[in-house]
Each structure stands twice: as structure tokens, then as C-alpha cells.
Amino acid sequence: MTYRVCFVCTGNICRSPMAESVFRARTEEAGLDGLVEVDSAGTGGWHEGEPADSRTVSVLEAHGYGSGHTARQFHASWFSRLDLVVALDAGHLKALRRLAPTPQDADKVRLLRSYDPAAGDDLDVPDPYYGGMDGFEECLELVEAASEGLLTAVREQVEGHAA
């Protein structure tokens, strides 16, 4: 059975495609690429059909990650096919939990940085869109740091599904 993870930010052109690319690489490195499906979307449809922001693409490629992406909006109907919905900040977390059709679906939503033990109380990945390249580099660092803990949690779920 495939375990499905979807990363969600605002417009699906900066943070969530970055998290999708990084986490897909982590699952492939861990040998889970056939068992875990990784995706992303935005809470809004402003950029639907567009590629990732060029700065996102630049940072991903500079660090050896894939960057092919087309933005889309998250829909409530997706909850039924997803196992985990990963929000990039508290605003996304609230919006997604409000959108969830059932309490069980709302329980599928988690903040990405909650998987990073070094994050402390600051669980938001700041939106780099209105800043310079340093914000995109910081975004990548935060995503990478949380991806290790997320991989551990997903691996436990996948192994539990297989048992």
C-alpha cells in the first residue's frame, strides 16, 4: 500500500515544492520511493498551472534536487486519499484543518517543522517570496532539517502498513 504525503503552502510555488523535492529525494535515498508518494499544493489557486518560482528552482538545482513542478490548489476531496498533509506554517495548518471534511482528516495535518527537534517553538517555515535569495536558502535549510524527522515518522507508518 502506498503512503501518500502532500506538502502545502500558500501558492505552491516556493515552500511546498521545495519540501516536495527534498522529501522525494529523502524517500528515494531511503529506498521508499515505491512505497511513498510525495506531492504538493497551495491553499490558494493564484499560481495554478505555473512552474515553481525561479528562485526555488535555482536553490533546489544548486543543491542537487529535482525541480520539475506545476502549481495547483489543495482541495478538501484530497483528504480521503492522503495519509499525511504537511503544512509549512501555522496559517496553512489552520486553513487545512478548517477545510478537512472530518476530524480524522484534520488529524492528518501536521506542521513540517514539528518533525525537527531543534525547531523549538518556532514551527513556521517563513515565506521567502517577497525577499531575496537568502530567504530561499534559509527555507531549504529548514526543510532539510525537518525532513529527517519526517522520514523517520513516515518510515514507521510505512513499515506499520506493511506488517
Cβ atoms within 10 A of the Cβ of 61, count? 12
Which residue type is seen at 11?
G
Q: CA 92, CA 42: separation in Å to the nearest integer?
A: 9
- Beta bridge mates, 111: 87
Q: pLDDT tens, 25-60?
A: 999 999 998 999 999 999 999 999 999 999 999 999
Q: Domain containing 91 — which CATH number? A: 3.40.50.2300
Q: pLDDT tens, 115-156?
A: 999 999 999 999 999 999 999 999 999 999 999 999 999 999
Alpha-carbon distances of 104 from 3, 53, 82, 84, rounded to whole Å: 16, 33, 11, 11
Catalytic residue of the set 6, 14, 15, 53: 15
Number of domains comprising the chain: 1
15 is catalytic: yes
Q: pLDDT tens, 102-113?
A: 999 999 999 999
Domain that holds residue 145: 3-162
53 is catalytic: no
9 is catalytic: yes
